[in-house]
Amino acid sequence: MFCCCQCCLSELMNAEAHRKVTLVVVGLDNAGKTTIIRGLQGENLCDQAPVDGVSVAELCLGGCKVTLYDLGGGPGWLGRAMLGSYYAQSHGLVFVVDSSDVKRLQDTRATITDVLQHPHIACKPVLLLANKQDLSGALGEVELIHRLSLEKLVNRHQCRCLIDERLREERKERLGERKEVKRG
């Protein structure tokens, strides 16, 4: 999973050598934002305390200094009004989804919608990271794209998006299966 994050970040970092890149990491509480950041830093992943507010991490990847703002996802965090200042400073966004928490999918969809419609996020690249894929009942990439209406969201808010061709083919197959079921 961490290799995937590093590959996705490479698009931002390949433009200029020795560049500073700032990313905002958001998602619902318990999605795994802090654990992912600590994993990228090579730290111990045991006993992560939830972030209440903002935590800042810095790493070097591919000759770039990457600053990650880990924004707490808890409902009680009072600093939500300040999110715009973090969004304005960022070059892109990482939205972490707990893909095993199907019960909170509507909350996730509402949150990602709110984040993407913020004026300081418009036209910036967004990485949706489907975390906790190893847990039973976790939704796969194609199902998450469908259930969160991601294609509509990124098109509506003009976010830079790349959908893996493998996922496109899986989605076409699923849509074809649904049409056959409806006819039968």
Q: What are the binding residues for GTP?
A: 27-34, 73, 131-134
CA–CA separation, 11 vs 5, rounded Å? 11
Strands 64-71 and 54-61: antiparallel
CA–CA separation, 29 vs 31, rounded Å? 6
Could you list the residues known to form a binding site, using ranges: 27-34, 73, 131-134
What amino acid is encoded at 10 in this protein? S
Contact 153, 93 (CB under 8 A): no
CA–CA separation, 157 vs 120, rounded Å? 11
Q: Retrieve residue 162's tokens.
A: 């790349």
Type and span of the H or E element at 71? strand 64-71
Could you list the residues known to form a binding site for Mg(2+), using ranges: 34
Q: What is the per-residue DSSP string for 74-136?
A: -TT-GGGGGHHHHHHH-SEEEEEEETT-GGGHHHHHHHHHHHHTSTTTTTSBEEEEEE-TTST
